[in-house]
């Protein structure tokens, strides 16, 4: 057993489970591979070597570099994102700048003019980027303001108060005040006093009267039931206000009789008619009979 276990290949021994192979990570779009005169490899490696002065940039054609870069961008099905393509463009721009420094030394007037042109171009690009960013922010702010509740449409402001009376300040003259007091004191004794306002009385049915009527009707219909959602027979020909008052007072009187135990209330269905039945014995609710007795 020991020899067999010792001779077994790694990961195949008895009781030992081989470790699962790691899953390959999803490949990101790598730097483009360039094939130039004097260099063959990825673009970022070429930039690192050029910065460290380990590659002869004089032998490298910038035109060929740009052509290969554009050809790689035009390939169908490229997995490179917009940010990665931006990195490639920055690396190619750095290589172009380093090559231009070799071709045009910094001490020449043309180099100074080129640097000034490059600075102006860089400043212009920065200003254009700032203007574009400000425009995006302005559009976002406009959309935010447009989405808010609008005054006069979704919300309304407080109404204006009563306009102040035009004219003076409301302060009278002292002489006018004294003259008015004299007029009050010198008023004739036979002046008719002002009548006080008394609202007109309303023709309504009092609760005590409705309670007495309901008791008499229950005594007149033993074992019967009275319907409460209609005016009493005595009030059928009364004015509308009197009829409404009679229905409300009769309903309150029925509740009072039910509270005293002298009658019972019953409703056969939801939102249906309400019936009042007199009790023959305390605690008993007789069945409804003679609904037409009301």
Which residue ranges make up each domain of the chain?
33-103, 207-293
Q: Which of 121, 120, 100 is nearest to 111 (CA)?
A: 100
CATH of 207-293, one of 1.10.10.10, 1.10.3210.10, 3.30.565.10, 1.10.10.580: 1.10.10.580
| CB distance 33 to 41 below 8 Å | yes
C-alpha dihedral over 263, 265, 268, 269, to 10 degrees?
180
Using the structure block, give the residue that is written with the tokens 């054609």: 61
| CB distance 277 to 285 below 8 Å | yes
Whole-number Cα distances in Å, 69 to 1, 33, 73, 221: 63, 9, 6, 109
Alpha-carbon gap, residue 231 to 238, rounded angstroms: 10
Alpha-carbon gap, residue 208 to 220, rounded angstroms: 19
Q: Mean pLDDT per 10-residue run, the chain (294 residues)?
A: 44 46 46 82 85 81 82 70 77 82 68 72 78 87 89 78 54 79 72 73 85 86 79 82 88 89 86 81 39 37
Q: Give the DSSP letter string of 58-108.
A: GGS-HHHHHHHHHHHHTSTT----HHHHHHHHHHHHHHHHHHHHHHS-TTS
pLDDT at position 288 is 33
pLDDT at position 162 is 57
Alpha-carbon gap, residue 114 to 97, rounded angstroms: 11
Rg (CA), the chain: 52
Residue 11 C-beta-side C-alpha neighbours within 13 Å: 4
pLDDT at position 215 is 85
């Amino acid at each position: 057993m020991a020899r067999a276990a010792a001779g077994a290949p790694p990961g195949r021994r008895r009781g030992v489970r081989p470790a699962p192979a790691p899953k390959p990570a999803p490949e990101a779009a790598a730097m483009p591979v360039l094939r130039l005169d004097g260099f063959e490899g990825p673009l970022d490696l070429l930039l690192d070597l050029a910065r460290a002065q380990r590659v002869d940039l004089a032998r490298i054609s910038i035109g060929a570099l740009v052509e290969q870069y554009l050809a790689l961008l035009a390939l169908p099905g490229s997995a490179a994102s917009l940010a990665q393509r931006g990195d490639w463009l920055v690396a190619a721009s750095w290589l172009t700048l380093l090559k231009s420094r070799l071709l045009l030394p910094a001490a020449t007037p043309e180099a100074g003019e080129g640097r000034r042109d490059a600075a102006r171009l860089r400043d212009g690009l920065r200003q254009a980027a700032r203007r574009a960013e400000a425009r995006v922010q302005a559009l976002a702010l406009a959309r935010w303001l447009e989405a808010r509740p609008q005054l006069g449409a979704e919300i309304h402001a407080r109404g204006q108060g009563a306009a102040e009376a035009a004219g003076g300040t409301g302060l009278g003259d002292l002489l006018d005040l004294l003259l008015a007091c004299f007029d009050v004191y010198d008023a004739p004794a036979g002046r008719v006093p002002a009548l006080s306002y008394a609202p007109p009385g309303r023709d309504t049915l009092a609760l005590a009267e409705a309670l007495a009527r309901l008791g008499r009707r229950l005594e007149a219909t033993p074992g019967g039931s009275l319907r409460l959602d209609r005016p009493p027979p005595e009030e059928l020909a009364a004015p509308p206000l009197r009829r409404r008052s009679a229905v409300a007072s009769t309903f309150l009187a029925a509740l009072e009789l039910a509270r005293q135990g002298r009658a019972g209330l019953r409703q056969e269905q939801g939102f249906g008619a309400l019936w009042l039945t007199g009790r023959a014995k305390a605690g008993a609710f007789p069945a409804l009979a003679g609904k037409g007795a009301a």
